[in-house]
Structure 1
Amino acid sequence: MTTQTILPVNAEGLSELSKRSNEPAWLTEKRLNALEMAAELALPKLEKMRIERWDIQNYGSHKVSDAVTSLNDVPASIQELVKDKEDASLVIQRNSGTIYTKLSPELAAQGVIFTDLQTAVKEHEELVKAHLFTVTTPEESSVTALHAALWNGGVFLYVPKNVEISVPLQAVMLTDEEDATFAPHILVIADTNSSVTYVDNYVSGDSTKAIVHNGAVEVFAKTGAKVRYATIHQLGEHVTDLSYRRAVLDNDASMEWIVGEMNSGDTMSDTNSILKGSGSTSDSKIIAIGSGSQKLNYSTRAVHHGKNTSSQMITRAVMREHATAIINGITKIEKGATKSDGQQTEKVLMLSPKARGDANPILLIDEDDVTAGHAASVGQVNPEQVYYLMSRGISREIAESLIIYGFLAPVVSEIPLEGLQTQLQSLIERKLGQ
């Protein structure tokens, strides 16, 4: 049975919104074509879950919040995330539009571009037009088509050839108005032999009404480029999070994903590295905690096209109460991708007999001269480990906490910023009710 997608806007309204934002004609056309596709395409098929039963129709309407010139004026819900960042390169989106952008003069002098995507469409049109929706395409499903039609705010990051950025560039995405469309699109282009770390946080207010976040990321790592992308999603229980992340790697490029899935609502997350160029590498680290009655579906993918490519995936998930998680790791080695190496590990730790976690490692190999491997485990806290720690004078509660933190440590320790590690640790404690 195909569920009909209810469009949150008609073509006339979308066209008017695009023109009111002074978008170029080609982008207006892309939006309208995507909206038409959204009405015809099916919802994405999730392993062992029926997304049509999720609350995914609440897109709201386009509502732009007032811009701020000082970080002292940002909403209280994100004050902690932006304190002491007055001099940092930072983009903040609130609901349907960007309210703050800043790029350090030093990076600007090197030709780095870091702004909201809606501004970049007009000021850096050729760069954006050549890459936008070329890897996260509207044709995938009604969800990606709706994103291509409705996206707003977002981030555009361009790093010129041979420019190496040592300080992370950061963004905060906030949804705190129940009837506002929230669909940021992140576009990162790292030119030849460049290097960059980008970090963002997705946050929601105290909404009691259902909201949908339909977001997408496109990363292009050109020859020899190195990109590290860290993202933490901590959206509330009334927010359904639908996130697609895609990266295309040219020869000898490297991509590192660090994803913290700390949401309290239903979540679908799809992270994909396309190793197009020979010698390219991908490293994906995913950490997730489910609680309450959450439905979580995480897919991490690596598709090898080039020769001598390598991919590594590590996923750690902790499930408590009635939460359900489906975790897919998919390594695809195409014909001709000789000498490639694809490795993956998925582990789920369940803290309640009513929690459920499925780990599904998948290898799809179309070439003989390769190496590939996978490992997966699903289980509860080992009572022998608990008893051992308790025999050393540690309480049961602390013993279980230590085991959980040790389970998650392979991902947490890889967070590129000390402040971000501290934040993630705090979120883990909150999600675990400690």
Structure 2
Amino acid sequence: MTTEVFYLLPYAYELPEWFNEMRDEAIAQWETLPLPKIERAKFHRWPLFSSDFVNEEALFNPLTYGTDAALSLNVEEYASITHAGNQTIMESIPMELREQGVLVMDLFEAMTEYPDLVQAHFGTVIAPQDDKVVAYNLAHLNGGIFIYIPKNVHVTQPIESLLLADARYQQAFNKRVLIILEENSSIDYLERVQSTGDEIISSTIIVEAIVKSGASLKYMAIDTMGQNVSNYIKRYAQTGRDARVDWAIGEMNDGNTVLDLDTYLNGNGSESQVAIVGISNGKQIQAIDSKVVNRGHHTIGNIFQHGVILDRATLTFNGIGLIENGAKHADAQQESRVLMLSDKARGDANPILLIEEFEVTAGHAASVGQIDEQQLYYLMSRGLTKELAEYLVIRGFLGPVILSMPSQRVRDELIEVIDAKLATIKADDLNG
């Protein structure tokens, strides 16, 4: 298989007028807009809105592919893209996909080369001035990723991306991802969000996925930002008729994080499955807000999220199912469960069902609780240490969500990340 691989140098793109006008409006208004509302989450004092956008030292010492940023894949086989710091440093796409019209490229590059295509979709899922975070991100956007799949094209190998924040220097990480699937197309997309360095920085990441009639998107993400990164990640998708969006997210950041995930089932017969696992430790605060809006007839939306809290951390799960008026025969189900391993931890699982139609099916389950002492006693009676017994209980608790994820490779990678996050467990830290 012939693959085109590009290792890119810093480049200043001449962006189209429509984008410059949109950004100018955001610059003028973002400070006056309200924060997004996330139930039971207080993040208004987080340093999300940094005024440090470009560090001059970072310009002369940029992250490089292979040394600082390399995906664990064979670039000869997969389409992939690496965006590090303020620039895209690697693009790789098999010639077969390029000949079919598949695009995997820097967002600013796409605005330059395909301005009409980007303009037709940019800001259609998330309005440019939807809230303070979105407008701030647009006003001070410093990079992003663009993926386009033409009609009737089915990409059999995953498309992978790495968004790597450069926390060696104080500078904001404001990124945008735009994914477009034309009719009857399909991809598996794996996104890794990471950081390098220990400076205190802010990160806002806005994702728009447009999945048109008959198309299928499996969106998998593993987020592992560092402790000094404050994160607001907003991932939204909308569907056409008989389209499908499956989310599989491992929220494993070490810094304070809001994950705001919405799916709008606009087309009749469209579906979405949401699977999320999260772990909070130390004094970390995480809020995960998952929402599925059923708009079309016979739409199906399921939310399945489990989380674990260690130490003095906080984890909030909001599961929101909205069946709008006219969405006949829609189905909205959700399950949110939180396991606390410390009496100093704080956890919430908030099921919210909003139903505006009669001929529908809906249900929810939610729980917040301490580790099962009987399970621990049983395992320890078989000769296991307390630490190992607790570890096995946690793995068993997260297991159903992990198994629901659509890729064995992603499951294996996520388990490695979970094991690393749980490696700090000590017997004295647990249960008081």
TM-score normalised to structure 1 length: 0.90
More off after superposition, 44-53 vs 114-123 = 44-53
Q: Is this contact kept in 2: 1:56–1:212, CA < 8 A?
A: yes
SS of match in other structure, 1:426: helix
Is residue 400 from structure 1 mapped to residue 373 from structure 2 by the alignment? no
* 1:350-388 Cα shifts (integer Å, max 9, x gaps): 010000110000000000000000000001110111112
1:346 alignment partner, one of 332, 336, 339: 336
What letter is aligned with 2:22?
K
* 1:169-209 Cα shifts (integer Å, max 9, x gaps): 000011124233311211111111111011011111121x3
Corresponding position of 1:272: 262
Flag the 1:184–1:347 CA change in 2: closer, same or farther, 3 A. same
Is residue 148 from structure 1 mapped to residue 138 from structure 2 by the alignment? yes
SS of match in other structure, 1:257: strand
Is residue 37 from structure 1 mapped to residue 2 from structure 2 by the alignment? no
2:375 alignment partner, one of 382, 385, 406: 385
More off after superposition, 266-275 vs 179-188 = 179-188
Corresponding position of 1:198: 189
* 1:291-316 Cα shifts (integer Å, max 9, x gaps): 01111111000011100000000011
Q: Describe how 1:13-412 pairs up with structure 2 within 5 A.
A: 21-62=13-54, 71=65, 73-75=66-68, 78-79=69-70, 81-82=71-72, 84-176=74-166, 177-207=168-198, 209-412=199-402
| Equivalent residue pairs, number | 411
SS of match in other structure, 2:36: coil
Distance 1:226 1:68 in 2: 36
Flag the 1:65–1:107 CA change in 2: closer, same or farther, 3 A. farther
Q: Is this contact kept in 2: 1:65–1:95, CA < 8 A?
A: no
CA shift at 1:127, angstroms?
1.2
SS of match in other structure, 1:301: strand
More off after superposition, 262-271 vs 414-423 = 414-423
Q: Is this contact kept in 1: 2:53–2:140, CA < 8 A?
A: no
SS of match in other structure, 2:311: coil
Q: Is this contact kept in 2: 1:216–1:245, CA < 8 A?
A: yes
SS of match in other structure, 2:173: coil
What letter is aligned with 2:113?
E
SS of match in other structure, 2:138: helix
SS of match in other structure, 2:393: helix
Q: Is this contact kept in 2: 1:120–1:156, CA < 8 A?
A: yes
SS of match in other structure, 1:51: coil
What letter is aligned with 2:180?
I
* 1:9-64 Cα shifts (integer Å, max 9, x gaps): xxxxxxxxxx9530011111111101112021122233233322222233522367
Distance 2:178 2:59 in 1: 22
SS of match in other structure, 2:174: coil
TM-score normalised to structure 2 length: 0.91
Flag the 1:356–1:69 CA change in 2: closer, same or farther, 3 A. closer
* 1:121-150 Cα shifts (integer Å, max 9, x gaps): 111111110110111223221111011212
CA shift at 1:416, angstroms?
4.1
What letter is aligned with 2:232?
L
CA shift at 1:402, angstroms?
1.2
Is residue 429 from structure 1 mapped to residue 422 from structure 2 by the alignment? no
Q: Give the CA RMSD over aligned residues.
A: 2.0
What letter is aligned with 1:136?
I
CA shift at 1:347, angstroms?
0.3
More off after superposition, 379-388 vs 339-348 = 379-388
More off after superposition, 195-204 vs 134-143 = 134-143
CA shift at 1:288, angstroms?
0.3
CA shift at 1:98, angstroms?
0.8
More off after superposition, 117-126 vs 305-314 = 117-126
What letter is aligned with 1:42?
P
What letter is aligned with 2:172?
T
**Structure 2 stretches lacking a partner, 5+ long:** 1-10, 426-432
CA shift at 1:68, angstroms?
10
Corresponding position of 2:3: none
* 1:317-343 Cα shifts (integer Å, max 9, x gaps): 100001112210000000100000000
What letter is aligned with 1:21?
Y
Task: Please identify runs of 4+ aligned residues in structure 1 that moved more than 6 A.
Answer: 66-70
CA shift at 1:418, angstroms?
3.8
SS of match in other structure, 1:357: strand
What letter is aligned with 1:170?
E
CA shift at 1:164, angstroms?
0.9
Distance 1:66 1:260 in 2: 33
Distance 2:144 2:130 in 1: 20
Q: Is this contact kept in 2: 1:89–1:169, CA < 8 A?
A: yes
Corresponding position of 2:8: none
SS of match in other structure, 2:206: strand
Distance 1:172 1:280 in 2: 29
Q: Is this contact kept in 2: 1:59–1:212, CA < 8 A?
A: no
Distance 1:70 1:181 in 2: 19
